[in-house]
Amino acid sequence: MKLPLVTSFFVFFGFLLLISSCESRKIQKNPIPAKIFENEELAKSLRNKGKFDSAIYHQEIALKEAIKLKDTASIKESYHGLYLSYKKKKNIDSAFSYLQKIYNIVSLMNDTVWMAKIYHKKGALYKDIDSTKLSLSNFTDSKNLYLKIGNTIGAGKELLEVANVQRGLGSFGACELTATEGLKYLEGTNELKSIGGLYLALATISRETERTKVANDYIDKALELVKDSSAVKEIDKITIGKFKNTKANILKDLEKFDEAIYYLESALKDFKNNTLEAKRTQFNLAHTIYVKNGYNTVSDSLLRNSYEYFLSQNKDSEIFSTLLKRAQLYKDVDKGKSTQYINEALKSAEDRDKKKSIYEALEIKLDIDFNKIDYKRFIALRNELQREKEDLDYFYINYRFNYEDAEKEKIRAENETIIAESKASKRTTQLLILFLILISLIVLIFFIYQRIKRRHKIEKLKTVHVTEARISSKVHDELANDLYELMSQLETSSPEKEMILDKLDTIYNQARDISKQIQSVDTDQKFADELSNLFRSYQSEKINVLLKRYDVEIWKGISSHIKITVYRVLQELLTNMKKHSNAALVVVSIEKNNKQLFIQYIDNGKGFTEEISKNGLQNAENRIHAIKGKLTFDTELHKGCKFSINVPV
């Protein structure tokens, strides 16, 4: 017992000596870390005062000392300080350079959290310089790293950043999908500000796509987060004021002007310590009063006051928006002033090379004074913006929409298991028993075949009857009613020629849509073109239909009845989408692998309930079952639809 006791004593004594030695070493090194700390603090103070060159000078002193000590943590902090100083100085290249230096350190340390932070900071820098794709890819890489370590809150916050970029570019379909995914990670947590931001994004894009009720529901959810003083503190008054601004814009769309004005005046109180946001709200208030009353001196005064402030602060975007509203204000009372303001707004947009702003200015200018030159430019710019938006959608879809590889693996594994079990069974069955079983199977299969054949005939007849009934209903409810209404108008009044032509055009389009649903489908070499034309026919300014992972060669060797069934089912899904879902984005993928045709349809519409799906999708399910395929779907109200189809070929 004595030996362990003595040993323990010496170990304890040695431990005390080690601590004493470390403390002695700390005391000797105190002056150098203090020098780093002093320069770090001085650099921070100078940076906050806007003295960026001086801040960089002191930060570099701190960095040199940290490098001498080989103190990795201090080196990283110094790099971060230099990044902040160069960012505020608007020296973006140097800011990127120091971010990369930090990334090199944290990646060697395998510090995933800091790696995600660097991707976030890069995304923010790219956003500041309008480099959209790089901004989106860095925010998305940050999200993926957070998910890798199970940090769903970090992932949700990055999705908010992605959604805001997409919203700013008018990529509403992709924005809605991103924001909805972000809510899956954040709803139910205490991240009230980020949750509110996602609701705000969804409200804004719903308003932009003319889904005013949905927009109102989302902004009410954001405002409901502000339940008490602790929630106000968590979200902050600036963000709450933005919620109220958006609520006011929605109420303005609903022509509830007094309620809109109430929310804007409430927002002004939230912004009493933030002049910029107060002036932006004042700008919205001026426009709301104008929409309610037409030209008035109150709106004129508020807009002029906001404009002078934005001008003094060099806020180019706000200056542009104010000029647009001033042009609208004077449109009916002073065409000269209106033209002056819209030309100034157009020049501001052109100087900054902001295509979307140029487009908005031209739209108002044409309303004030139409001319062919501006109209041609307006149309060309609209097409260019649409192409860029589609390009952005394709880019982000590569991150967002992927095939369910695990599902396909499961199907292949099930098929392999069935084959293996069948072989094992054949090897272990005796010849006589096999002979008897085969005879029994032949008889049984004959009866089953006859039964399945009858069932398929019934299902096909049902499908035909359903289709005929639907077409009959369309002819009666849409074409016949519209024709009768037009005839009545012609008998009782003398309508204008343009009104008659518009009505006839509507009836023609209805007839063409019905014709599309019953016309024959070319299943030979032109089938790929037929399918492409189908998708193109549902494309519009409000609906973007995208086809990805699709090779026209996959249709070789596939039978005609499968091609027709696939065509009709996709037509059914697209028709339902157009009539009921209010979707802004549809993505369809078609692949062939191991004698299986995999089709995936995704939209960002309002979705549907289980009960609705059983009634509305029965026709599509019958068609797929008739070719021995499988159709599954995943949907929730207001959260889009996802259909997966696989067919043996």
d(CA 94, CA 96): 5
Write the pLDDT tens digit of every residue in 476-512: 556 656 665 666 666 666 666 667 766 676 665 666 5
The per-residue pLDDT for 486 is 65
**Which helix (DSSP H) or strand (DSSP E) does residue 598 occupy?**
strand 596-603
Tell which residue, 637, 584, 586, 583, has the closest CA to residue 612: 637
Q: Are 327 and 293 in contact (CB under 8 A)?
A: no
d(CA 144, CA 138): 10
d(CA 466, CA 618): 10
d(CA 430, CA 446): 24
CA dihedral (531, 533, 535, 536) in degrees, to 10, reads: 160
Phi-psi region of 150 (alpha: psi -120 to 50; beta: other; left: phi over 0): left
Q: Which of 12-16, 233-237, 433-437 has the lowest mean pLDDT?
A: 12-16
The per-residue pLDDT for 288 is 94
d(CA 593, CA 404): 13
549 against 62, higher pLDDT: 62
Helix spans in 352-371 (H): 355-368
For the chain, the average pLDDT equals 82
- The one-letter code for the residue type at 461 is L
pLDDT of 85 over the 90 cut: yes
Write the pLDDT tens digit of every residue in 163-172: 999 888 778 8
Helix spans in 475-596 (H): 481-492, 497-518, 527-537, 560-576
Spatial strand order in the sheet of 641-648: 544-548, 585-593, 596-603, 641-648, 630-635
**Which helix (DSSP H) or strand (DSSP E) does residue 635 occupy?**
strand 630-635
d(CA 488, CA 482): 10
Name the pLDDT band for 9 (thresholds 50, 70, 90): very low
* Two structure tokens written together for 203: 């409200």
Write the pLDDT tens digit of every residue in 93-150: 999 999 999 999 999 999 999 999 999 999 999 998 888 888 988 999 999 999 999 9
Which residues make Cβ contacts (< 8 Å) with residue 293, sequence separation at least 6? 299
Give the whole-number percent of the chain exceeding pLDDT 90: 43
d(CA 206, CA 249): 12
Tell which residue, 300, 295, 259, has the closest CA to residue 282: 300
Tell which residue, 641, 643, 571, 575, has the closest CA to residue 609: 641
Q: What are phi and psi of 228, to 5 degrees?
A: -150, 180
Which residues make Cβ contacts (< 8 Å) with residue 371, sequence separation at least 6? none
Q: What are phi and psi of 151, to 5 degrees?
A: -90, 85
* Two structure tokens written together for 169: 């570019």
Write the pLDDT tens digit of every residue in 606-649: 877 655 555 557 778 888 888 889 998 887 766 788 899 999 98
CA distances from 297 to 263, 304, 327, 461 (A): 21, 10, 14, 69
104-120 burial: b if 16+ Cβ within 10 Å, else e: ebbeeeeebebbbbbbb
Which residues make Cβ contacts (< 8 Å) with residue 581, sequence separation at least 6? 603, 605, 606, 607, 608, 640, 641
Q: Are 298 and 285 in contact (CB under 8 A)?
A: no
- The one-letter code for the residue type at 4 is P
**Which helix (DSSP H) or strand (DSSP E) does residue 590 occupy?**
strand 585-593
Write the pLDDT tens digit of every residue in 569-601: 998 888 888 877 888 899 999 998 888 999 999
The per-residue pLDDT for 645 is 94
Q: What are phi and psi of 354, to 5 degrees?
A: -100, 100
Chain centroid to CA 192: 20
